[in-house]
Structure 1
Amino acid sequence: MTSPADLAASLGRRRAYWHAGVLLTVLLGALYVVRRHWPTVESGAGRLAGADQGWLLVGATAALGTWAASALAQQGAVIRRLPGRLLLAAQFAACAANHLLPAGLGAGAVNVRFLMRCGLPAGRSASALAVKATAGATVRLALIAALAPACPGLLRPPRLSPAAFAVVLGGLVLVAALPATPWWARCRRALTAVLADLRALHGCPARSAALWGGSLAFAALHSLVLIAVTQAVGLPLPPLQVALLYLAASSAAALLPTPGGLGSLDAALALALTVAGAPGAAAASAVLGYRLLTVWLPLLPGLLVLGLLVRRKAV
């Protein structure tokens, strides 16, 4: 008969093996991503070698601030007070995990696990992420609406061909037919839960200020990263236009489920900068610099932090 001490030791070994396996998987994933995109990393480093180091430092500082802004917005999405240091570490780790899985699944999984470890039920944790995402999307649209009049003609609505118009019309008809389906009923319940959480959060001024302030700071700091890189490489576009182009391109890229917007955001940013009048080489260098500061340089440290959080059972 197995004694309680032997059973506890066996469970402890299993947990240790599981934690080691997760950590190894995380490290292998990091090495795979870096190796797969190594030409991009190497080319970006070469193009940025002659850039203004002062502006690159400004961009790196703004990139560091994005994780603090994300942590502030996540705290604002829940009433319960979260442990500050672990929350910041979780956002750093979630940002890295987001570049391994499509459509934000990596970041979502890390944040849900973190919130559940903090004592929130699974449903409330998922709702908190939806609240944060809703606030972020609303802030981006508001910033685009505020900046567009200051940059007339920079953003042009796409011209729809008859075929594209038919596809859009068909999509609207399909959405109109969804209310009778169980899928739509589940979506409606989820939306109702998110709206209820938003109302509850706005009953607490400190939480609502953190939610909207963090979301605003997150979008503004990402815009500042791109502005700093464009200044570093001498791209001839005013900072206000660069910010508007970033907000529009990142909002469009969010519709494509690629890991961390890899490929979709790069293409959207490069196209937006080029159409706005930037030389192709300078636009490519700016996009590579933005990616280096926000993805490639923090990727391996972020995954290491994720492994440590898993080992400490914080996620």
Structure 2
Amino acid sequence: MSLPPLDSLPAPTPTPASVATSVTTSVPAPALAPDPAPAPAPAPAPGDSPCATLRSTTHPPSTTRLTSLTRLVLALLPLLLIGTWAAVDWRALRDGVTRLGAADPWWLLAGVFFTLLGWVAAACVRQGALPERLPPGLLLASQFAAGAANHVLPASIGAHAVTLRFLQGRGIPLARATASLALYSLAKPVAKMPVLILFLVAFEDTLQLGGLAPDRWTLLLAAGSVTLGLATASLLLAVVRPLRRPAVDFLRTALTDVRILHTRPSRVLALWGGSAATPLLQGSVIASVGFSLGLPLSWAQVVFALLIASTAVGAVPAPGGIGPVDAALVFTMVALGAPMGLSTATVIGYRVLTVWIPLLPGTLVLSALVHRKVL
């Protein structure tokens, strides 16, 4: 059977779909307009760095001005507080400077030396309370600045705030920095008790404890206060549930850091050695000032007086311990046989030497650290 030729076959009838397809394929698509070129970024000024250009494009000028103004206020605020304090307490400053003007300069120089060692001891304790290694120069500068802030706010809040900002600036998380402050605050009174017991044993003959021994009611009052404080803290944690989780996390972090620290002999020596040396250095400053004025007490008696006074009223919230500790220190030295006038002059001279003289340079260091964004 033969097939018909192709030319003789009828042409297929076009359908609407094929017509549409042919029209679509035959008509050329319109050309797409090119995307507009992005606007070029402004070229940096000749003296600008790439980081400065990035900051200028990231933060608006109003935010930058507000941040600069805030830092300026924080830098000048310590100077304003110190000026206000000096205007309020100018009589004590005047009397102390007058007393020190007639004192033996060599003993005063020894007092300055022990004051400087006190800041070094504080920096050692701060380092011993943290596993990470901190830069020694900045750490010492921060403690010098913290000493100025400590005399403005009560209960060492100023010093702890400065140290907390410094640790966070070094990359320490907030929980671990807070645990370090708690360990620092706990180590100093705990290390003071063995020093006090050592003085009681070694200098029993020279220490006149008749007028200083507390009676039974005083001991009961102290024990009751400690028990009440612990019971109140436990009750708050048991009743207020939002406090429970942060407290547990804080304790877990603190115990972990304590375990790590006590596996490193250098940290143990810095923490506990510095804490034990702190009252000895403070007592040495008081003894040096007393010797320059002719105080008829030995070094052991003066240091013991400071240990007793700071232990008795050290928990009273006062800026830098000024006030309650001073009154207790004068009372203790008088009970040990010193005249009231010389004891008062010794304490005033001690405060001038350790508070008023370092206050202005310490405040300037604090402002400089804030300005340089170390704090």
| TM-score strictly above 0.5 | yes
Q: Match for residue 33 of structure 1?
A: 85
Which residue of structure 2 aligns with residue 266 of structure 1? 326
Higher mean C-alpha displacement, 69-78 vs 194-203: 194-203
Which has more radius of gyration? Answer: 2
User: Cα gap change, 1:253/1:121 in structure 2, threshold over 3 Å: closer, same or farther?
Assistant: same
- Coordinate RMSD, CA, aligned: 2.4
SS in 2 for 1:261: coil
Q: Name the CA distance, whole Å, in 1 between partners of 2:111 and 2:143.
A: 19
- Unpaired runs of 5+ in structure 2? 1-41, 43-53
Query: Do the aligned partners of 1:148 and 1:154 also contact (CA within 8 Å) in 2?
Result: no
| 1:205 equivalent in alignment to 2:261 | no
Higher-helix-fraction structure:
1
Aligned with residue 187 of structure 2, among 132, 135, 138:
135
Give, in whole Å, the separation in 2 of the partners of 1:45 and 1:177. 44
Q: CA deviation at 1:219?
A: 2.3
The corresponding residue for 1:154 is: 208
Cα distance, 1:202–1:267 mapped onto 2, change above 3 Å: same
Flag the 1:17–1:214 CA change in 2: closer, same or farther, 3 A. same
> Retained in 1: the 8 A contact 2:187–2:271?
yes
- Report the Cα offset of residue 287 of structure 1: 0.3
Q: Once structures 1 and 2 are overlaid, which stretch shifts more, 81-90 or 214-223?
A: 214-223
141, 147, 165: which one aligns with 1:113:
165
SS at match of 1:24: helix
Equivalent residues of 2:114, 2:281 under 8 A apart: yes
Structure 1 residue 178: deviation in Å? 5.5
For 1:16 and 1:70, locate their aligned partners in 2 and report how far apart those are by CA, in whole Å.
Answer: 31
Higher mean Cα deviation, 43-52 or 271-280? 43-52
**Offset from partner CA, 1:151-175 (integer Å, 9 cap, x none):** 335343322449x947954863674
Secondary structure of residue in 1 paired with 2:103: coil
From the superposition, tell whether residues 192 and 140 of structure 1 become closer, same or farther in structure 2 (CA, over 3 Å). farther
Q: State the Cα distance separating 1:95 from its structure 2 match.
A: 0.8
User: In structure 2, what residue type is equivalent to 1:12?
Assistant: T
Amino acid paired to 2:278: F
Shift of 1:147: 0.4
- Show the 5 A alignment for 1:226-265: 226-265=286-325
1:215 aligns with 2:271: no
Residue 82 of structure 1 aligns with which residue? 134
For 1:137 and 1:212, locate their aligned partners in 2 and report how far apart those are by CA, in whole Å.
10
- Equivalent position amino acid for 1:254 in 2: G
2:151 alignment counterpart: 99
Amino acid at match of 2:298: P
Task: Report the secondary structure of 1:102's partner residue.
Answer: coil
Ranges of 4+ aligned residues in structure 1 off by more than 6 Å? none
**Alignment partners' CA distance in 2, 1:196 and 1:252:** 32
Work out the percentage of aligned pairs sharing the same amino acid. 38
The one-letter code of the counterpart of 1:158 is P
5+ residue gaps, structure 1:
none
- Change in Cα spacing, 1:35 to 1:69, as seen in structure 2 (3 Å) is same
Q: Which has the higher contact order (CA 8 A, sep 6+)?
A: 1
CA deviations over 1:166-206 (Å, ceiling 9, x no partner): 79548636744763542695667645543432221011112
Report the alpha carbon displacement of residue 121 of structure 1 after superposing the two structures with TM. Answer: 0.7
Quick one: which amino acid aligns to residue 290 of structure 2?
Answer: T
Whether contact under 8 Å (1:131, 1:197) holds in the other structure is: no
2:286, 2:346 within 8 Å by CA — same for their partners in 1? yes
Question: In structure 2, the residue corresponding to 1:134 is in which secondary structure?
Answer: helix
Q: What is aligned with 1:23?
A: 75
State how far apart, in whole Å, the 1-side matches of 2:238 and 2:155 are.
19
Q: More displaced, 142-151 or 8-17?
A: 8-17
Distance verdict in 2 for CA 1:166–1:122, change over 3 Å? closer
Report the equivalent of 1:281.
341
Give the 3 Å change call, closer, same or farther, for CA 178–91 of structure 1 in structure 2.
Answer: closer
How many correspondences in the alignment?
Answer: 312
